[in-house]
Amino acid sequence: MADLTTDVRYIKGIGEKKALALHKLGVFTLYDLISFFPRKYDDRTQYRPIAQAMDGESVCIRAVVADTPRLAHIRRGMDLVKLRAVDDSGIVDITYFNQSYVKDNLQRGESYVFFGRMEVKGSRRSMVNPVYEQEGKENGVTGRIVPIYRMSAGLNQRAILQAVRQGLDLCGDQLPDVLPERVRSACELVQARYAYENIHFPADFGALELARRRLIFEELFVLACALGRMRGERVREGGIPIAEAALDDFWKTLPFSPTGAQRRAVEQAVNDLKSGAVMNRLVQGDVGSGKTLVAAALIWYVHQSGKMSAFMAPTEILAEQHYHTLSGMLTPLGLRVGKLTGAMSAKEKREVKSALKNGELDLIIGTHALFSQDVEYQNLALVVTDEQHRFGVGQRSALIGKGRKPHVLVMSATPIPRTLALIIYGDLDVSVIDELPPGRQKVDTFAVNESYRQRLNGFVEKLCAEGRQVFVVCPMVEENEELPTPLKSAEEHAKELAAAFPHLRVACVHGKMKPKDKDAVMSAFVAGETDILVSTTVIEVGVDVPNAALMIVENAERFGLSQLHQLRGRVGRGQHKSWCILVSDADTEEVKARLSIMTKTNDGFRISEEDLRLRGPGDFFGARQHGLPAMHVADLGADAQTLQRAQAEATKLLADDPGLNKTENRPLRERVERLFSESADSFN
């Protein structure tokens, strides 16, 4: 007896070779087979009398083969079968290319259903390579909605379709319903058996929709349960104990009061620290929302318990800036603050390392140098990583591995819609700083095209004469990329600008430069030694240049909204009125709509939601580094509402049965565990 775990080779028609081809598609068992959902569907439900089929229409016709099919070799490697079919209304000439076997399969005088695209030229009607079935013996390729599957060499659609049909017949009834009955009925979803049948062989489009709805929900629900369970398990791990401290003592030292959002984020984190469990918290806040202060408060808090913190920045220059800010804030409060970066001399590094080893520092700020093999910590209780998307997951955990499970605070300036954040940072709790410090000026944003170049140059001239500095960002140009409109590469553009502004100091920084050279150019700009900095998006991270008042983005159409928003956040950080100019010659409606959102709002979360709506989740899920399992039917961007619902239901269920141990949740648990094991190496 076959069951869901049976090898696909059990299926009639699937031999060694086809099985291997199926393996390539990730199909090994019967369960995999029936979970191998179609890529799309062909609507073959429309029947027409031959004479009524219109030119270009894809239709089914019922027709009798009127003559004996003729085989002709036209040239080497090319033959064709020609025949004529008729019904009461008319005649159609049918041609098959390179399918000589058709000659013997189609019998003169027999009645068939043909599905194909009708061509009409004058009074002549013809079809090329239509699929066919003998009338009354249809087995699934005509007269219905036909599934189209992803393919690999050695397979064809008919083989997959027939295999899936057998798979469903053999063990469709054994499918356990992973959705608990309560969830299924609360969300008005169809049963598993119905869904799996109709996702492959929909009775009609209504049934297909019901099946899809259920399976999308199921997929997101399983994912949400998996991540939720992971969070739940983590919480049970004991964290380094941190004693209660009076935060007000810290707030009092500031020249300003923290925003409500900053307070909330700190309180949430403090609750984690006091809970006895390990903190794993993401603080998400728009550029300039004051995340550094949140980190400072927690570093101070941990220090009150006599423990030390490490603060990891993605670049030398950011480490330098954070060192400056944080030591300014914390040294007066008695914390001993050090830094460790690759640029330091060997002697300096040695000294810092020995200080760390001897517990003579309360805070260390640095780049990835912080987790080199030879760095030893004493009492490390808190690890803060800034702009975490810049760090590989491995780097983050390398530092975490240094102490005995220190608390972790991750700060990200990429606003992500909340539902998506829960998924991407599945193992992290999320705090959102959704409020900017008071008195922040808005960066005026304009979208312009090349015809404004002259005026734009005049503006650059004027600002620089006033002593301001200018950022210019060009898109990254992939080599051998063929594009309809020429892109400005950072280097070329810098040359043009240097020629256009002979009296201004123009510098260029791009991704292909050595980190050291990059930092040198950046530092010169920070120090005010250059007027215009042309770059690729390498400056996206939180470098602070309060004197920069203008951000120009070339080929702005090439950037995602969230990215543009990040870039814009590089200006308006000082007391100077600031501008962002998006230059684009692309004039599609889509581009115009996107850029116009930038001119209308400065709210990073609104922008990221629009971005998600317009471009899907790809931008947030860069290069699969999120480590999520691939989705089969769901689309994390497009199905945001379902995702939210699935998450809510998963939370409810896990509150009731955290380990998914109840009998009725067993099928769900199996699926959840399989999801983990399938993607074990890609998970955080």
285 near ligand ADP, rule: CB under 6 A: yes
- Alpha carbon distances (Å) from 94 to 88, 98, 101, 130, 342: 17, 13, 14, 8, 73
Helices (H), 97-204: 102-105, 157-171, 181-186, 192-200
User: From Mg ion, ligand ADP, none, which one binds at residue 258 (CB under 5 to 8 Å depending on kind)?
Assistant: ligand ADP
By CB atoms closer than 10 A (0-12, 13-18, 19+), residue 390 is middle
Which residue, 90 or 574, is less far from ligand ADP as judged by CB? 574
Q: What whole-number distance in Å separates Cα of residue 428 and Cα of residue 388?
A: 12
> Can you tell me which of 293, 308, 640, 643 binds ligand ADP, judged by CB under 6 A?
293
289 near ligand ADP, rule: CB under 6 A: yes
292 near ligand ADP, rule: CB under 6 A: yes
Which residue, 81 or 416, is less far from ligand ADP as judged by CB? 416
**Site mask for ligand ADP (CB under 6 A), range 43-72, x = bound:** ------------------------------
475 near ligand ADP, rule: CB under 6 A: no
Tell me the DSSP string of 396-442: HHHHHTTSSS-EEEEEE-S---HHHHHHHTTTSEEEEE--PPTTPPP
Q: Which residues contact 275 (CB under 8 A, 6 or more apart)?
A: 235, 239
User: From Mg ion, ligand ADP, none, which one binds at residue 259 (CB under 5 to 8 Å depending on kind)?
Assistant: ligand ADP
572 near ligand ADP, rule: CB under 6 A: no
- Of the candidate spans 3-11, 54-62, 215-223, 251-259, the one that interacts with ligand ADP by CB under 6 A turns out to be 251-259
How far the first Cα of the chain sits from its last, in Å, is 39
> Can you tell me which of 228, 290, 415, 426 binds ligand ADP, judged by CB under 6 A?
290
Q: What whole-number distance in Å separates Cα of residue 299 and Cα of residue 550?
A: 34
User: For residue 115, how many other CB atoms are within 10 A of its CB?
Assistant: 24
Which residue, 269 or 287, is less far from ligand ADP as judged by CB? 287
Which residue, 109 or 439, is less far from ligand ADP as judged by CB? 439
User: From ligand ADP, Mg ion, none, which one binds at residue 130 (CB under 5 to 8 Å depending on kind)?
Assistant: none
Q: Within positions 422 to 441, which residues make up the interface with ligand ADP, using CB under 6 A?
A: 437
* Whether 365 contacts 311, CB under 8 Å: yes
- Of the candidate spans 175-183, 284-292, 305-313, 652-660, the one that interacts with ligand ADP by CB under 6 A turns out to be 284-292
The DSSP bridge partners found for residue 280 are 408
**CB of 540: closest distance to ligand ADP in angstroms?**
12
567 near ligand ADP, rule: CB under 6 A: no
Q: Which residues contact 564 (CB under 8 A, 6 or more apart)?
A: 553, 556, 582, 598, 607
542 near Mg ion, rule: CB under 5 A: yes
- Alpha carbon distances (Å) from 608 to 73, 345, 554, 603, 615: 59, 42, 21, 9, 10
- Of the candidate spans 273-281, 535-543, 633-641, 671-679, the one that interacts with Mg ion by CB under 5 A turns out to be 535-543
Which residue, 34 or 413, is less far from ligand ADP as judged by CB? 413
Binding site for ligand ADP (CB under 6 A): 256, 258-259, 262, 285, 287-293, 413, 437, 542
